Chains A and B, each alone.
Chain A
Amino acid sequence: MPATSGPLTPGLASFLKTLRTNPIDTSIDNLISLLKRRQIRHSRSCATATAYLLRGVISASRTNDANKLIERVQNVGRRLMAAQPREMVVGNIVRRVLGLIRDEAEDDREGDFNLSEAGSESQPQTPRGLDDPTDVLSARHDGSDRGASRQPLPALTAAPISMFSLLSHPDTENSLPGTPVSASPSGRLLGHAPGKDIRAEVLDGISEIIDELTQVDDQIAAYALDHIHSNEIILTHTSSTTVQKFLLKAAAKRKFTVIHAEAFPNNHEATHATVSGANPHDDELLSTESFQKPLIALGITVILIPDSAVFALMSRVNKVILGTHSVLANGGLVASAGTRVIARAAKVHQTPVVVVSGVYKLSPVYPFDFDSLIEYGDASKVISYEDGDLVDQIDVQNPLYDYVPAELIDLYITNLGGHAPSYLYRIVSDHYRKEDISV
């Protein structure tokens, strides 16, 4: 089994490890091939890889000219997005980095250090310290203040290479809350220059995006108690970590029942592992999250059902909580195959459908052609090797994703709070700049 080869298996972990040592162009090609070969699959892994790569790209480019930086990021971003056009989060992260650069460039032009008002419009990164569900607006305001306060901490253009390699050290992400704090003092130590360094600001911003990616599930989970009441029956689907964390958070306080559809054949192993608490065999998932307790350890009754039984049980379900692959600007979403039928069944039974998703999955793309969003997977998961004779004769289909229209969704819970599907366009405009929508 490839599991024995350990960290050398191509994937997110090996990519991050080599990112430090390899020249940046090699890393770009490496990530492109990983995306193309689907060796990085999960949206968060893709987002993390993209963010780290872009940080490397920016720190490696020896210019402080915003336009050149934008051009460079656009080039890399286009190549990444072309490598896996259906992986929207890659484009999302690229757009957010572009937005960061543009913001910094504008700030630079204005030469204004106190732009808390303007910053609230364009500040893309999610404010930290959102664990208590405070008001979104005040939280964002707080974040922009913080951004402004950090602005007089520039870094030297010549010196900072060592600092950036320090920053891009993957280990720093493990000490999540400490990262920006430790970054700021080091910046203070290094730089006393009054001149503004766009690059350092952008790198700070990317670090915040990376932090957001590591914290997003916990931030979403903080809203769990607002949405799950006692003795509820909740139906979910696939082994989404976001959903699991959400439910685990609620399980600490409340007792409820979870009905888990197994998402055969593309995700059933991971789902079974999630449900039973066994370690997944998927290397990509082998992160700290995958070692969390299963729901059953917290006394939550989990009923595992085949996907076909969803309609039969829906009449007993109080709430459907779904994870997603990416969310589109119109409020629709692309999620693992089978989600649409579940959402339909819930609608038929008047059961609310809640989608939990990080803001980073929110894409400014409007789905004009739904079919282009759908990826098809390995047919051998549907018809096994033993039935190989059938494959010659029949057309076996294994769609990986479903497009779920917005009208089937009742509520989105992101790390910014709960939103109606119709409100998503507003969050999109908060996070992405118009000029970046088509990279």
Chain B
Amino acid sequence: MTSSTPTAPSPSPAAAAAATPTTSTTSTPSTASTSSKPTKQQPSSQSQKPSKSATKSKDAATAATSAPAAPADSATAQLTPAELKKRAKAEKAARRARERAERESSGPAGGAPSGGAATPGKKDGSGGGGSAAGASGSKQVPRRGSAQNASQNGGGGSVSGAVPAGGLEKSAGGGGGGESKGGKKADDKNVAVFGHLYGQQRRTTVAGAGKEVHPAVLALGLQMRDYVVCGSSARCVATLLAFKRVIEAYTTPMGTSLPRHLTTYLSHQITYLSTCRPLSISQGNAIRALKLAISSIDPSTPEAEAKAFLGEFIDSFIREKITVADQVIASSAAQKIQDGDVIVTFAGSSIVKQTLLLAHKQGKKFRVSIIDSRPLFEGKSLARTLANAGLDVQYSLVHGISHAIKAASKVFLGAHAMTSNGRLYSRVGTALVAMSAKERAGGVEVPVIVCCETVKFTDRVALDSIVVNEIADADELITAEPMQQLTGLPDPAAVTVSAADAKKGGGGGGKSAAAAAAAAANAAAESNTLAQNVSSPLTGWKESANLQLLNIMYDVTPAEYVDMVVTEMGSLPPSAVPIVHRMSTNL
């Protein structure tokens, strides 16, 4: 990189001439970036810094073509802290590598990738995949995603505000397409019926996230991906709280107004979140309400006032739609529990937990039977909470459904969403529990009660669990065996291996070096043995042809299995879902 950047400035002295030199500066690093390490990039940015103001003015003139260079510089100008800069650089490197991969995968039609002169053509080639060259420029703008840039484009108002958003989605989709093309071999690991659900891989790091994504949102995204924040309501609340911080930190750029620009700005955050894990219905509903509130702000409102209004809106949304709603639902569902009941529940729903705890607090004597499922085992924490509260808890897995349901007198289920045709969209396995409750031998039906806030209602409909679903990483299914070894002593086999390693590695060094190497190797080997302990027959499933693992997150329970939906607006039959949804969205 250091070697390539000097070549870049060499054309730039001629640089009053605008477009082609700047593209070459940006594109040559991109060709080099595959071989370059992040450390190499540091000097390049420093070398770019002096020319920043100059390039900035240039950018204003040639915004469309030199777009990729401009936002980076403007970003460094806007976000002075060093770590932000570093992150931007890491992003840049990642993005360039990705762009390059994309270009390569999207076709050798792009031309020879060697010369600096050829690179503009290459760029056009990649852009040609979209629509026009201008479109390709604007497509890359939102990807870089700087607020300032958008503001430069965004004189046109809300329409142009919408356009970059669309472009962003498109480009994100393009990236996904490129990845899937690259992973053609992985294609037969995708279950054909669910082919439409395998989109992008879930994001693994914050690297490559747009720099306009707020740190709170960055963190939340990873938490959601790792199921740290899990559950429809929890994700909804966490998203809203993160957005509240985003709005607090937000300053309206010059030349636009908050209601016009904030929506666009938020949509970057939303896109980031959705790359971490697909958004839940409740998140979607909350975001829709928030956007509606933003657009309802009068553009002439002072910024501070508008932000205060939005903060208040988010607080009251959380309070009304979730916190208080949960209390209302818990108290009305707890009334359904009587002494001597055996309540069956599936996985870990927060609202069911509240209900059961409340009923217990009211002094009702009942038993809870929790059915749990792989791979998340959400019921475990529910069982722990309930047991700590002093409830009588029985715990089994999906294979024990028919045994658990035999004694059941009521089934309480949480929901991810209720669809407009009255079906319950919830954690996979819920349908089995509901079905067992309705089909118990002897014809005695167990009432199935769903606890669900109206914020989880959606106007979408679902007939089966295949069209709409979420595919989680199949590797989650590979069983983590309980560790065989419970002492801290190293495994004898591992010791011999590590000794061999140490001999190999520490051959040149002295005795102490060898010992250190042995210690290091030992540690490594220990982690290896742990990994081996965890290994199962499926460890190499990706290599064995024709074997596919499927890890879907949700299933759809037919409406006839649900007797009652307890919401904050009252207890309803499932058929009333669309009506309530219409009422609550019109309010």
Chain A contact residues, CB within 8 Å of chain B: 1, 262-266, 268-269, 272-273, 275-278, 280, 295-296, 299-313, 315-316, 336-338, 340-341, 344-345, 347-348, 374, 380, 382-387, 390, 393-399, 402, 405
Contact = CB atoms under 8 A, between A and B. Distances in A.
Interface string B391-413: 01111111111111000000000
A272 B403 CA distance: 25
A278 B392 CA distance: 41
7 contacts: A263-B399, A272-B536, A296-B546, A300-B546, A306-B398, A315-B465, A397-B395
B547 A304 contact: yes
Given A344-B435, A385-B482, A303 B550 contact: yes
Interface of B: 191-193, 373-375, 380, 383-384, 387-388, 392-404, 427-429, 431-432, 435-436, 439, 441, 464-466, 469, 477, 479, 482, 484, 486, 536-538, 540-541, 544-552, 554-556
Given A264-B374, A312-B555, 12 more contacts: A275-B537, A276-B541, A277-B544, A303-B549, A304-B538, A307-B399, A312-B464, A336-B399, A338-B401, A341-B399, A394-B394, A402-B402
Contacts of B403: 337, 374, 397, 399, 402
A345 B435 contact: yes
A312 B428 contact: yes
A278 B550 contact: no
B84 to A, nearest CB: 40
Contact of A309 (B388, B397, B428, B436): B428
B432 A310 contact: yes
Given A278-B537, A374-B403, A399-B403, A308 B395 contact: no
Nearest to A316: B193
A264 B552 contact: no
Contacts of B375: 306
A193 B209 CA distance: 93
A341 B401 contact: yes
A300 B188 CA distance: 12
A266 B397 CA distance: 11
Contact of B383 (A263, A269, A394, A402): A394
A269 B550 CA distance: 17
A316 B466 contact: yes
A295 B544 CA distance: 11
A405 B399 contact: no
A266 B398 CA distance: 12
A315 B466 contact: yes
B533 to A, nearest CB: 11
A306 B479 CA distance: 11
A345 B541 CA distance: 28
A393 B388 contact: yes
Given A276-B547, A395-B394, A311 B479 contact: no
A344 B546 contact: no
B380 A387 contact: yes
Contacts, number: 188
B399 A265 contact: yes
Contacts of B427: 308
Contacts of B401: 338, 341
Contacts of B400: 337, 397-399
B396 A396 contact: yes
Nearest to A276: B537
A405 B464 CA distance: 27
A312 B546 contact: no
Contacts of B439: 344, 347-348
A276 B540 contact: yes
Contacts of B441: 405
A394 B395 CA distance: 7
A17 B241 CA distance: 69
B462 to A, nearest CB: 11
B487 to A, nearest CB: 13
Nearest to A402: B402
Contact of B397 (A265, A296, A387): A265
B365 to A, nearest CB: 16
B550 A264 contact: no
A264 B380 CA distance: 16
Contacts of B396: 382, 396-399
B550 A307 contact: no
Given A272-B538, A275-B547, A387-B380, A312 B395 contact: no
A160 to B, nearest CB: 47
A272 B399 contact: no
Contact of B552 (A273, A300, A312): A312
Contacts of B544: 276-277, 296
Contacts of A338: 398-399, 401
A231 to B, nearest CB: 12
A312 B397 contact: no
B397 A382 contact: yes
A276 B397 contact: no
Contacts of B191: 303
Given A269-B479, A273-B537, A341-B402, A309 B546 contact: no
Contacts of A402: 399, 402-403
B428 A397 contact: no
A402 B404 CA distance: 12
Contact of B387 (A266, A277, A394): A394
Nearest to A403: B402
Contacts of A301: 192, 546, 548
Contact of A272 (B465, B537, B551): B537
Nearest to A298: B546
A297 to B, nearest CB: 8
B555 A309 contact: yes
Contacts of B432: 308, 310-311, 341, 345
A405 B442 CA distance: 11
B373 A306 contact: yes
Nearest to B538: A272
Contacts of B395: 382-383, 390, 394-397
Q: Which of A268, A307, A394, A398 has the most CB of B within 10 A?
A: A394
B308 to A, nearest CB: 45
Contacts of A394: 383, 387, 393-395
